[in-house]
Amino acid sequence: MARITRFAVDIKKLDAFQKRLRKLQAPIDQKTAKRLGGQVVREMKNLIKKGVSPIRGPGIKTRFQAYKNPKRYPGKRKNKRPVNLRLSGDFLHALEARLIEVKNNWVTVVGYFDNDQADKEQGHREGANKQRKRPTIPNRRRKETFAARINKIILKLYGDRVRELTRKKL
């Protein structure tokens, strides 16, 4: 003979659980996305100022090659590091993060949103006007990613957000 077990369902707790499951499907809220963008841009700028590339991938050197004109600096007396990327400072200052909402999930986009500075990044990527190649934004099609230090920041913030969602009591 079959045994029937009775149980009660707390509809409020079930609704709260379903809501949490929906949040786990799209865990990045606006606050997390904003924090992520700020920390990634800050670390990218720190690396670039030190002459270290913020991206990794095929053909990408870990360190930027220095601007060096051997005719101006006989005997190779010009320091190679740190690379002077300040010049006017506009290029580095224009690096920023913006947020986009996609299906109740926030996406952080890091880049140069000023047309002049975006053109400079393209020049750095291609090595235009005899300048050394120094790309600063990863290109997925070229299988480029952020440097390990930046990936670590991203994973930490994502992990913190998922833990925050799963630790809340129903």
Question: How many CB atoms within 10 Å of residue 30?
Answer: 11
What is the rounded distance in angstroms from the CA atom of residue 147 to the CA atom of residue 47? 9
What is the rounded distance in angstroms from the CA atom of residue 94 to the CA atom of residue 116? 10
What contacts 160, CB < 8 A, 6 or more positions away?
Answer: 32
Of 10-14, 35-39, 85-89, 112-116, the range with the lowest mean pLDDT is 85-89
Of 23-32, 72-81, 92-101, 119-128, the range with the lowest mean pLDDT is 72-81
Beta strands in the chain (DSSP E): 55-56, 95-102, 105-112, 145-146
pLDDT tens for each residue of 70-100: 556 555 565 555 555 544 578 889 999 999 9
Predicted TM-score (pTM) of the model is: 0.73
| Amino acid 77: pLDDT | 61
- Supply the DSSP symbol for 88: T
